[in-house]
Structures are given as C-alpha cells and as structure tokens.
A and B are shown apart, each in its own frame.
Chain A
Amino acid sequence: MNAARRTRDVLEGLSRLFAALVLATAVCYVVGFTAWTTWISFTDSALLPDYTFVGFKHYERLLGSRVFLVAYGNLAIYGVGFIVGAAATGLLLAILIDQKIRAENALRTIYLYPMALSFVVTGTVWAWLLNPDIGIENFVRGLGWDNFRFDWLIDSDLAIYAVVIAALWQASGFAMALLLAGLRSLDADIYKAAQIDGASPARMYLRIMVPAIWPIVVSVLVILLQIAIKTYDLVRALTAGGPGIATTLPTNVVYDYMFQRGEMGAGSAAAVMLLLSLLLVMVPYALFQRLQKRRQQRHD
C-alpha cells in the first residue's frame, strides 16, 4: 500500500515538474525570440546577425517609407474586414449547422476544407476568379449581364477588399469549427431553459449561448487576428502586393527587408513594429476585461 502510494506521489511530482517545464518552454520561446528580434532591430544586421548597435536608424527609415505606411493602412482595413467578416460568417454557419442538419458532416467539411489548401493555391485561384478578363466578371457578362462589374482586384482602392474575400473564404470555416465545438460543449440544460423562456432562436443564441462560450469566442478572435497580422502568402499569390503597392501588408514589408533585400536589422524593426501595433488591440481589450471584472465584483 505504501509503495503504491509512493510511486503515485513520485508520478505526481514528476508530472507537475513536467507540466511546469512545458509551460516554461512555451514562455521562454515567446520571450526569447521576441527579445532577440528586438535586439537585432537595433543593430546593423544585413544578411546575417551582426551585433553592432545602430540605435533607431531602421525605425526612422521605415516610418519615413511610403510602402510601410501604406501597408499599415491596408492592415487596418483588411484586419477589420477580415476579422469581423470571418467571425460573423463562422458564427452564422455554426449556428445554422447546430440545427440538427442532415449531411452535417458533409457540409461542415465543405466549409472547413478551404483551410486545407495552402494560401498560395488560394491566392492563385482567386486571382483568376477575380480577374475581370477571365474570371467572374467575364462569366457573368457571358450570361448576358453586360454591365456587370467586379474588378476590385485591379482597382488600387478596392483591391484590399478582394484580399478580404479570399482570406475570409479560407478561414471562416475554421471559425465555424471552433464556435461549433464551443456550442456543442454547452450543457443541454441551457438550451432547454432558453426554449422554455420562449426566446426566439436569434436572441437565444446571441444573448445566451455566445456569451456562455465567450472564452471560445476570444480564441476565435485571437486566431483571426493572428491570421490577419501574419497574412503574407495570400497577398503574394493573389495580388503580388499590387496593383503597385496597393495591397502590401506589413508582413510583406518584413519579408522584403529581411530576406529579399538582405537587411535583417530593418526587417526585425518592421517585425517589432508589427507586434507593437498589436498592443493597440490588446491593451484596450485587457482594460476592458479589467473593467468587466471590477464591475462584476461591485455587483457581488
């Protein structure tokens, strides 16, 4: 009996240690890589890391560069459009699928599979579809509707929305999957209670279920946000950053400086600024969370 308890205790201890190590690795990875990149952004690194300090030189240069500023403007439009669009679409699809559908498996796979295709393929195919000469515009005109226009892809002002469409197509299925998992994890009692309440389906979902799975919704938003921030291949394949530089995003700038131009210092500075821009989103959210908590505490 004692031996069994001792081995159990040892196993207990080891598993806690192991868990702590895993957590520590994850933390060190994030902190370490971010710190290293920040350090490099203050150095004169070109093809390889070089630890000569040059201060804010790269930051100044980037902030004065047209492409950099255009890229951030694009990120704002694309980010909002994509995150809101994909989350809303995902939520809609999740709710619809939750309605005891026949062929649920098939439909869910159809909505999800775009994520299985790499961004390069997505970008290439959507580039053809959105090309007015050979794609959708051409097709619809061929059907007789001569004045149909769908040339966003080549319009400097609208091209970024074309990118939103392609990205939404790719990622909304996953938003749906996460939200569906969340909805399915809810207790059946909640549904029953809401139905007894006589609430309309829309209200039931929006007022009760979604708040009940709020942490999952946060996961969805975080995932979509990180896709938006890291979008690179899609732009490269869909518009090559064009027309001109109209759809360039910050990660394209990072890649360009770091790898194509062989200027690691500037590329790292661009990456650091990209991460800093996240604070614009995360800080308000953290404050909002704290306010919520305080409000709840006051109610209790």
Chain B
Amino acid sequence: MIDARANAGSRIALYAVLVVFALFYLMPLLVVVLNSFRSFEEITRSSVLGLPTALRTDNWAQAWGTYCLAGACTGIKPYMWNSLLIAIPATLLSTLLGALNGYVLSLWRFRGASLVFGVITFGVFLPAQMKLVPWAIVLRELGLSNTINGLLLVHVVQGLAFTTLFCRNYYVNVPQDLIKAARIDGAGFLQIFRRIILPLSPPILIVTIIWQFTGIWNEFLYGITFSEGPQRPVTAALMALSANIAQAREYGIESAAVLIAALPTLLVYLFGGKYFVRGLTAGAVK
C-alpha cells in the first residue's frame, strides 16, 4: 500500500492505464454481448461483427429455455444444473485436499518432500488427451464408468496437481515460528491445520477455488466422455451450438448461451473478491 502521497498526475496516469487495459479485456465480451441480441438472419446477411438492429431477447429466451438439444427442447438450463453438481463438489474437495497436501509438503519437513512436490507438480503438464484412455480404464476397474462419481473422481484427482502447487508455494511463506510455537503448545497435525493454516489461507484458497471452478466448469472432454446424456455439463450444450461443419452456426443463440454459462464463474470471481485482503499474517506472529 503506497500512500496517496503520489501526486494527482500519477494517479490519473494510473487510472488511465487501468482503463485502457479494461477496454482491451472487454472488447471481445462486447462482441459476444452484441451478437446475443442479433438474429440469425441479421448475422448471416451482414457480418459476424456488428451492432444489433434491436435489443430483442429471443436468443436469450431460446438459449435458456427452449433451444432443442439432444431431443429435448429445454435450452441450457438443465445442463447448468448438471455443471453445478459437478463443479461445486469437485472444486471444494480438490481445494481442501490440495491445502492439506500443501500443508504437509511445506511445513512438515520430511525427506523427499521436495521430490514428492516436484512429481505432483509435474501432473499439471499432462495433456488432457493423453489421460483419456487411461482414465476410461481406471473408471472401468473401479466400476465408476459413466457415473457422476466417476467424473468427480477424475476432476478431483487431476485438480490435486494444481491445488497442491498453489497451496504449498503459499504456505512456505508462513513463518516457521508460528508452527513451532503451536507444537510446543501441544497442537497436533490436524489442529495446526485447522487453527493456524486455514485461517491464513483465504487469499490462496480463493485463487485456487477460482482456478478449479473455472477449469472444471469449462471442461469439455472428460465431461462428455464420462457421463451420459441427461447428466452432461453445460459445455456439452455450448459445444453443440458451436461445433459445426455442415450447419449454419447459430451465433446469436450461442452468444447468449456463452454469457449465461459464464455467469456462475463470474459470480465466483465477484464474490471471491473480498478475500483478496491484505496482511492476514500481520499481527499473527506477534
């Protein structure tokens, strides 16, 4: 926190830069929003980039509730629900377990901790395509093929690589004195985790939750391959709207659907904002 001692000039420059960046980030969103109000004929007859002639809401209504997908004309509403059922438990579970892993690897110095951390971190690099068939085999052996629990298992285990990385590299900065003091007081493994580590964690937990929720929410390959029709996540619906060779792509409805589908993640970002607060370690050591 730099004091507002900085003069007004540099303050203006600061805001100017931030606004320019904001425009850069918003530009594509603007395109999608505009398209969500344009009809199929409008887009097909003029161009994919353009202003709507009227703010009609047909695309939104269709995307949400009436567009026909897989034989049912219910829009993306049921798929949104499915995605929530997958993303929320998977995010929470992988985040919590990642925090546990991070805690163990950073604060309980055992031999080989660095190696274990390195191996787990390597997991973030494994491309999704290469893991598809092995997962199919694993799920078959566990009897979880084509079930939601199977899909949850996939997301949680894959997420562990990321969540462990985030949490461990955050927890290494926790002062060792805190831990030592607690141990002297007689606190055990679980207690230190609950009483000391977790309260210090909001900034990294929220970042981890953001990462996991976004990743799982937008995930298509596994969501499609390891689930059956009625349980499919919203990415299946979005893909149905966009993957087209032989068809006219319904850009208008697709835009509306994309925006609706992005809402939960946006809410996570907005809501998570208040956890980006400063200095939670301040005062804790003293």
Chain A contacts to B: CB under 8 angstroms: 8-9, 11-12, 15-16, 18-20, 22-23, 25-27, 29-34, 36-37, 48-49, 93, 96-101, 104-105, 107-122, 124-126, 128-129, 134-135, 169, 173-174, 177-178, 180-182, 184-189, 191, 195, 201, 212-213, 215-216, 218-219, 222-223, 225-226, 229-230, 232, 251, 254-255, 258-259, 264, 267-268, 271, 274-275, 278
Q: Indicate if B266 sits at the interface (CB-CB under 8 A).
A: yes
Decide: A26 near B157, CB < 8 A? Known: A118-B235, A134-B48.
yes
**Cross-chain contact B173 with A100 (CB below 8 angstroms):** no
Grouping DSSP codes into helix (H, G, I), strand (E, B) and loop, the A interface class, with mixed when no group exceeds half, is helix
Contacts A25-B160, A218-B169; is A33 near B134 (CB within 8 Å)? yes
Cβ–Cβ contact B122 & A23, under 8 A? no
Min CB gap A139→B, angstroms: 8
Interface bits B157-199 vs A (CB < 8 Å: 1, else 0): 1101110111001101100000000000000111001000000
- A-chain residues with CB within 8 Å of residue B40 when the two chains form the complex: none
Chain A residues in 8 Å Cβ range of B210: 112, 115, 174, 177
B127 touches A274 (CB 8 A): yes
**Assembly CA distance A51 to B177 (angstroms):** 54
Contact partner of B126 (CB less than 8 A), chosen from A30, A115, A118, A189, is: A30
Residue among B25, B27, B137 with the most chain A CB within 10 A? B25
Q: Is the CB of B21 within 8 A of A93?
A: yes
Q: Which residues of A contact B217 (CB under 8 A)?
A: 116
Q: What is the distance, in angstroms, from A219's C-beta to the closest C-beta of chain B?
A: 5
Q: Please state if B17 and A96 are interface contacts (CB–CB under 8 Å).
A: yes
Distance in Å: Cβ of A176 to nearest Cβ of chain B:
10
Which of A25, A48, A173 interacts with B25 by CB under 8 Å? Answer: A173
Bound Cα distance from A196 to B238, whole angstroms: 54
Whether B116 contacts A27 by the Cβ 8 Å rule is: yes
A107 contacts across to B, CB distance below 8 A: 18, 22
* B248 on interface, CB distance cutoff 8 Å: no
Selected contact of B49 from candidates A104, A109, A110, A128, CB within 8 Å: A128
Interface pairs (14), CB distance under 8 Å: A9-B188, A20-B104, A26-B164, A29-B161, A37-B130, A37-B134, A93-B21, A108-B269, A169-B24, A177-B210, A181-B203, A181-B207, A219-B166, A230-B125
Query: Are B173 and A29 touching (Cβ within 8 A)?
Result: no
> In the assembled complex, which residues on chain A have CB atoms less than 8 Å from the CB atom of B269?
108-109, 112-113, 116
Which residues of B sit under 8 angstroms from A11, Cβ to Cβ?
Answer: 190
Q: How long is the Cα–Cα vector from A259 to B277 in the complex, in angstroms?
A: 45
Write the nearest CB–CB distance from B167 to chain A, whole angstroms. 10
Question: Are B157 and A25 in contact, with the CB atoms below 8 A?
Answer: yes
Instruction: Let me know if B31 is at the binding interface, CB within 8 A.
Output: yes
Chain A residues with CB under 8 Å of B121's CB are 222
Nearest to B46 among chain A residues (CB) is A134
Q: Are A116 and B266 in contact (CB under 8 A)?
A: yes
Residues of A within 8 A of B116 (CB): 23, 27
Segment with Cβ contacts to A, from B1-9, B63-71, B75-83: B1-9
Whether B227 sits at the interface, judged by CB under 8 Å, is no
Identify the closest chain B residue to A274 (Cβ): B127
Q: Tell me if B61 is interfacial: C-beta within 8 Å of chain A.
A: no
Residues of B within 8 A of A (CB): 1-4, 6, 14-15, 17-18, 21-22, 24-29, 31-32, 47-49, 97, 100-101, 103-105, 116, 119-131, 133-134, 137, 157-158, 160-162, 164-166, 169-170, 172-173, 188-190, 193, 203-204, 206-207, 210-211, 214, 217-218, 220, 235, 238-239, 242, 258, 262, 265-266, 269-270, 273-274, 276-282
Query: Are B160 and A215 in contact, with the CB atoms below 8 A?
Result: no
Interface of B is mostly: helix
Closest 6 A/B residue pairs (Cβ):
A215-B169, A116-B265, A181-B203, A271-B130, A30-B123, A15-B190
**Complex Cα distance A189/B133, Å?**
52
User: Which residues of chain B are within 8 angstroms of A174 by Cβ–Cβ distance?
Assistant: 210-211
In the complex, what distance in Å separates the CA atom of A134 from the CA atom of B47? 8
**When chains A and B are docked, how far (Å) is the Cα of A19 from the Cα of B63?**
44
Other A-B contacts than A25-B160, A195-B3, A264-B133, 9 sampled, CB-CB below 8 A, are A22-B97, A22-B100, A101-B14, A101-B15, A128-B31, A173-B25, A186-B279, A215-B169, A254-B127
Choice from A33, A101, A232 contacting B18 with Cβ under 8 Å: A101
**In the complex the two chains form, is A26's CB within 8 Å of B127's CB?**
no
Residues of B within 8 A of A25 (CB): 157, 160
In the complex, what residues of B have CB within 8 A of residue A201's CB? 2, 6
Whether the Cβ atoms of B32 and A121 lie closer than 8 Å is yes
C-alpha gap A126/B127 in the complex (Å): 24
Contact A185 B204 (CB under 8 A): yes
Residues of B within 8 A of A16 (CB): 189
Please tell me which one of the listed residues B27, B165, B211, B238 contacts residue A129 in the complex, with CB atoms under 8 A apart. B27
Q: Max chain A CB contacts within 10 Å: which of B27, B166, B280?
A: B166
Which residues does chain A contribute within 8 Å of B97, judged by CB atoms?
A: 22
Which single residue of chain B is at the shortest CB-CB distance from A112? B269
How far apart are B127's CB and chain A's nearest CB, in angstroms?
Answer: 5
Known contacts A177-B210, A191-B1; A8/B47 CB under 8 A: no
